Chains A and B, each alone.
Chain A
């Protein structure tokens, strides 16, 4: 069955430092991949998406993610974290031809001053 793994439950980063959140998916072909962000008590907001083509995709709020087929990974990165980036981040994948979007369990980002 399709699955998405986010191995880090919590990550703490100092403000201004770089960030990388890990995501691994399990699927034979190239899935559609997404990163969402959720502030407490709110819905999810799309940060970026990958369908095909260039493996480095740019998103909103200065985030980017790189698709690596050989590692089945789609890690999210940001060069310099701001305090407002503290939130929960979800990686998700969707197979071609299906409607189900499968989510990872999320990574909570804490930003220290």
Chain B
């Protein structure tokens, strides 16, 4: 079955460390996205990518970085510059950039202490 795989489901890090969240899709989708979810704030867009080797900042990109070297992969790095990194992170993909719905992975919960 096609889908989006995020790993790991739970991640713990010490403050000051960078951490990379994995996102892989086998849906052959061109566009991929990273969202951050905090209680009461809905989902906020961190980065998105329409095609390989290209990506755009979303609404809250500070303290994050991404790469898109392969169509199926869109890893997110949470750097030590992110002031409040503890959150639930969701990866998504879509067929194109117009009216296609997003398909979501099951998320990674990152806890930084």
Residues of A bordering B, CB below 8 Å = 9, 32, 34, 36, 41-46, 49, 51, 90, 94, 96-101, 103-106
Contacts and interface: CB of A to CB of B under 8 A. Distances in A.
Nearest to B48: A99
Given A9-B40, A104-B42, A106-B42, A99 B97 contact: yes
B31 interface: yes
Contacts of B90: 43-44
Interface of B: 4, 6, 31, 33, 35, 40-45, 48, 50, 56, 58, 90, 92, 94, 97-99, 101-107, 109
A46 B41 contact: no
Contacts of B40: 9, 105
Contacts of A103: 35, 42-44
A43 B31 contact: no
Contacts of A34: 101
Given A41-B109, A43-B90, A99-B31, A90 B50 contact: no
